[in-house]
Amino acid sequence: MTNSEIVDLLELTGRLMELHEQDAFRTRAFSSAAFNLDKSTADLANLPVDELIKLPGVGKSVAYKIREIADTGRLTELDELLAQTPAGVLDMFRIKGLGVKKIGTLWRELGIVSLGELQQACEEGRVATIKGFGKATQDKILAALEFLQEQKGKVRMDKAAQMAGLLLDELTPHFDRVEVSGQVRRKAQEIDTVQLLIQTSDPISAMLTLNGIPSLQPNEVESSPFAWRGQLDGFDVRVELLLVAPDQMDRQLFILSAAEPHLQQVGSGGASLLQVAYTSPDTSEAAIYERAGLPYIVPEMREDDFAFRWATRHRADELVTWDDLRGTLHNHSTWSDGKQSVAEMAAYCRELGLTYFGIADHSVTASYANGLDAERVRAQQAEIDALNAGFGTGFRIFKGIESDILGDGSLDYDDEILASFDYVVASVHQTLTMSIEKATTRLLRAIENPYTTILGHPTGRLLLAREGYPIDHRAIIDACAAHQVVIEINASPYRLDIDWRWIDYAMEQGVMLSINPDAHTLSGLLDMHYGVAVGRKGGLTKQMTFNALSLDDMQTYLQNRKLGIGKK
């Protein structure tokens, strides 16, 4: 059992105890343990009870529950709670903003035991009549239900990549050539079909092989003689395995990795890219574009005609790559809600070949994330000074902060504290339900703050879980251009925010973009791979990538920006 699996079971137990109105003290014990252990780097599964009780938030009772989970893979108390809870009530936990107490009220007072019944009750106006709800809450629930329905059957980029990797490992021993194609190869941020191509001259034998792999569950209705369709155990998204003759693999890999609007682009010869792809004697991708009289487009950008407009101003080799990144600027440590120390995070950055690490722990308003007050800011900065003294000239830790943007657009430190940082990432974390006018005004004020260096995850969206709050993207980007504020591409696969469709406009306005992992763990630093992928999809060039600046250039930029405060 991993730490995250143990924490998830403890958290679910606490929520179900609250739902069933069990002893408040014991309920808090489970919830507190889950909250504290989520940040722990201890190997929970291998700690005895007497070591577990030394961890923050863990009492003896919960310690024994952790041992039960680690030893058996389950928790008897949780099983009993689950047996008392309709599956549809559990589904309600997925609705953002709907707390456990309200779910319990809906279940007990209206007898709602499914998302369908909840939607019907909202549409009939019954939810609004319950004390503590009202029409505004009812409307929010309806919007959340609609959003969940739209996302059904999809996975994020990271899950899709994991699935594709597992399928490659499973299939490669059986076939001469297997290629990932479709949405996964295009690096789509949300994916409804994980598609792979299998080279074979004997589709009947190949299909028998696929049906004999235990982890693959076929959908016989949707499958055909040349297409296996079904699911991979442990994932609820569609899998499509297409059987392709050897002489057609390259051609089909190209065609199936591009979206239809991209393939319909007509080249200088009067034929569409799709028509050329089917008739070209040379089936290499570069040859297909050349024969069509069109510029070569990398797989990530094969969505629509945007890539061809972009190509009138840029070349494919200008696009940012992982190797272009020189540092990382939005990361968290054990000072707030991260799982590793500043020293550990910085050391891993050095292992990755980066030359600077920017710490941007949560600010004072983010009490839920152990945000730093002024005294702790000074203590952290003293620690960073000591670490930097040991690095020499080839590596540096920059002192940053992720300062919360308050409801009125102000940042949550005074100017004296803000001035002590090398840079400030300004982000919204709370009060997410505003009109587009108010949300935009709020961000504009934060951008106008002279201490704001980077605008963090501009819409606050969580892919497949929560829509971003509405903002006027053009107005925000224009303001960033006017005030020389960098915009973050939050590389966490849960966010990927700002959306790739706005990257080109930002570059046109002269706004640089920073590929920030928002890392809370060592492995989280690798999320910059996802940020690079969506950056390339949106046409981001190395020249306009903020954290592609060298260490010397980054130091100069940040120093000059601080010197310019108050001189405008």
Contact 3, 40 (CB under 8 A): yes
* 229 inside domain: yes
The count of residues in the chain is 568
- Give pLDDT, residue 120: 86
pLDDT one-digit tens code per residue, 93-145:
888 778 899 999 999 888 888 888 888 888 888 888 888 898 888 888 888 88
The reported pLDDT for the residue numbered 558 is 97
Cα 563-566-568 angle, rounded to 5 deg: 100
Domain span including residue 132 = 3-151
Last residue of a domain, one of 151, 174, 190: 151
**E strands present in 407-565:** 423-427, 454-455, 486-490, 513-516
Quote the pLDDT of residue 567.
66
How far is the C-alpha of 349 from the C-alpha of 391, rounded, in Å?
A: 13
Same-domain check for residues 195 and 91: no
**99-113, pLDDT tens digit by residue?**
899 999 999 888 888
Question: Residues 437, 352: one domain?
Answer: yes
Domain finish residue from 224, 246, 268? 246
CA dihedral 307, 311, 316, 318 (to 10 degrees): -110
Q: Is the pLDDT of residue 84 over 80?
A: yes
Residues 420, 423, 427, 429, Cα dihedral to 10° = -50
Examine the pLDDT at 423 and tell me if it is beyond 90: yes
Q: Mean pLDDT score of the chain, rounded to an integer? A: 93
- Select from 92, 126, 151 the last residue of a domain: 151
- Quote the CA–CA distance of 496 and 537 in Å, as a whole number: 12
Q: 3-state DSSP call for residue 562? A: helix
HSE (side-chain half, CA atoms, 13 Å) at 54: 7
**What is the rounded distance in angstroms from the CA atom of residue 328 to the CA atom of residue 469?**
26
pLDDT digits (tens, 9 = 90+) for 546-559: 999 999 999 999 99
**pLDDT above 70: percentage of residues in the chain:** 99
Give the percent of the chain with pLDDT over 90.
80
Predicted TM-score of the model (pTM): 0.85
> pLDDT at position 466, please?
81
pLDDT of residue 320: 98
Residue 125 sits in a domain of what CATH number? 1.10.150.110
Q: DSSP secondary structure string, 27-44?
A: HHHHHHHHHHHTT--S-G
Same domain, 288 and 308: yes
Q: Which helix (H) or strand (E) holds 196?
A: strand 193-199
H-run or E-run covering 344: helix 342-351
Is residue 267 situated within a structural domain? yes
Grade residue 568 by pLDDT with cuts at 50, 70 and 90. low
In a shared domain, residues 88 and 230: no
Instruction: Give yes or no: residues 93 and 58 share one domain.
Output: yes
Closest CA to 100 of 151, 39, 30: 30
Regarding whether 131 and 174 lie in a shared domain, the answer is no
Query: Per 3-state DSSP, what percentage of the chain is helix, strand, and coil (rounded to 5)?
Result: 50, 15, 35
